[in-house]
Amino acid sequence: MEDFCKRLPKIELHAHLNGSLSESTIQKLCQLEGAPHLFDNWQVAINHGEHRTLSECFEMFKAVHALTVTPEAVKLATASVISDFEQDGIIYLELRSTPREVEGRMTKEQYVDAIVEAILAHQGKIVVKLLLSVDRRHRSDDAEHALKIALDVRAKHPDMVVGLDLSGDPTAGSLDLFLPTFVKARQHGLGIVMHCGEVSNKAEVLEILKFRPNRLGHVTCLHPDLGGCQEQWKTLIESKIPVEACLTSNLRCKTVPSYEKHHLRHLLSARHPVALSTDDKGVFCSDLSNEFHIAAKSFDLSEQDLRDLSINTVDFCLASQQMKEQLRRCFQ
C-alpha cells in the first residue's frame, strides 16, 4: 500500500510554502544566510509521535521565516519545495504563501516575484499554480496589498495566480476585517480558499460557509465529536464545498485526538468532496503519499478508494477546464 500511495499520481491543494521546507532545504538556506548552525539547537519540524499546540506551531513558522529573507532565498525555497512535491508523485500543486517584506532586504512584490520566477524556471512535469495568503494577524490594508499583487502578477502571467487564501493563527484577527477584500477578489475572478474552524468559532464558521469559498481548509472543530455542533456540520455537508483535509497537521497541532477520530471519517461517510493535503509537509514531517497511506490505514480504504479520492480532487482545482482535462488524462 505504501508503494501504491507513492506511485499514485496526486494533487496537492493545501501547501504553505514556508511550512513545506525539507530539512535539506533549511540547511541550504542557513548556508545562504551565512549562518550554517542557526538551527542546530532549534527544532523546526515536529517528528512522528510528537505534538505541539497550535500556538507553538506558529512559533515554528516564525523561525523558518528568518531564513526566507531575500528574493534569492525565496527562489531557492520555492524551487526545492516544487522538486520535493514532484518527487512525491504530485502532478498538480497549488502552492500558497503570504507576501512578506523584510526591511532593507525584500519588498512584498519582490517576495512574490521570486516565487513566480522559481515556478517559471522549474523544468519538470508538475504543474504549479500560486495562491496568495492573507494572514489573520495582519491588517485589512495588508489584505488589499496581497490582492493588488495577485492582480499585478496575473496581468503579467495570466494563469499563474489562481486565488486568495485566508490563513494564519485562527485565534487572531477577525473575518469581517478581510471579507471586503475577498469579495473584491471574487469579483476579479480569483478563486477563494479559507481556513475554517481550526478552533471552535461557530459564528465565524457559519459566516464563512455563507460566503461560499471555492474550498475550505481543515474544518476541524465543526463536527459535534470535535467540539462543533450539528448546525455547523449539517450546513457544511449541505454546502458541498470541498474540504482540504490535513490529517497529520491536525494531529500534530492537537486539534484532533487521533487519526481514527479525525473528521475525515465523517466526511467520507457523508460522501463529502475532500482533497487530502499536507498543509506544512516540512513542519509536520509528512508528505502526501504518507497522508494517503495514513488515510488508507485509518479508514480502511482500498487502492480503488484512494485512486478515486485522487482523481476526484481534479474537480476542486482552481485551474482552467482545459487544465483539468489534461490532469484527468494523466490518471488514465
Pick out residues in 162-191 that bind ligand 6MZ (CB under 6 A): 167-168
Among 12, 94, 279, 291, binds ligand 6MZ (CB under 6 A): 279
Among 253, 264, 267, 309, binds ligand 6MZ (CB under 6 A): 253
Closer by beta carbon to ligand 6MZ, 38 or else 60:
60
**Distance in angstroms (rounded) separating the CA atoms of residues 147 and 134:** 9
Q: Which one of the listed residues 198, 204, 238, 303 is annotated catalytic? A: 198
- Asked if residue 280 lies in contact with residue 287, where contact means CB atoms within 8 angstroms, the answer is no
238 is catalytic: no
Among 8, 13, 18, 145, binds ligand 6MZ (CB under 6 A): 18
- Asked if residue 68 lies in contact with residue 105, where contact means CB atoms within 8 angstroms, the answer is no
The position carrying cell 487519526 is: 259
Among 22, 25, 80, 133, binds ligand 6MZ (CB under 6 A): 133
User: Minimum Å distance from CB 329 to ligand 6MZ?
Assistant: 31
Closer by beta carbon to ligand 6MZ, 108 or else 293:
108
User: Minimum Å distance from CB 217 to ligand 6MZ?
Assistant: 7
Strands (E), the chain: 10-16, 90-97, 127-135, 161-167, 191-196, 215-218, 243-245, 274-276
Determine, following the binding rule CB under 6 A, whether residue 248 of this chain makes contact with ligand 6MZ: no
Determine, following the binding rule CB under 6 A, whether residue 198 of this chain makes contact with ligand 6MZ: yes
**Distance in angstroms (rounded) separating the CA atoms of residues 2 and 7:** 9
Which H, E and C letters describe 272-325, residue by residue? CCEEECCECCCCCCCCHHHHHHHHHHHHCCCHHHHHHHHHHHHHHCCCCHHHHH
Give 173's contacts (C-beta < 8 A, 6+ positions apart): 135, 136, 137, 138
Q: Which residues in this chain contact ligand 6MZ in the complex, by CB under 6 A?
A: 16-19, 57, 61, 97-98, 133, 135, 167-168, 195, 198, 249, 253, 279-280
What are the residue numbers of the active site?
198
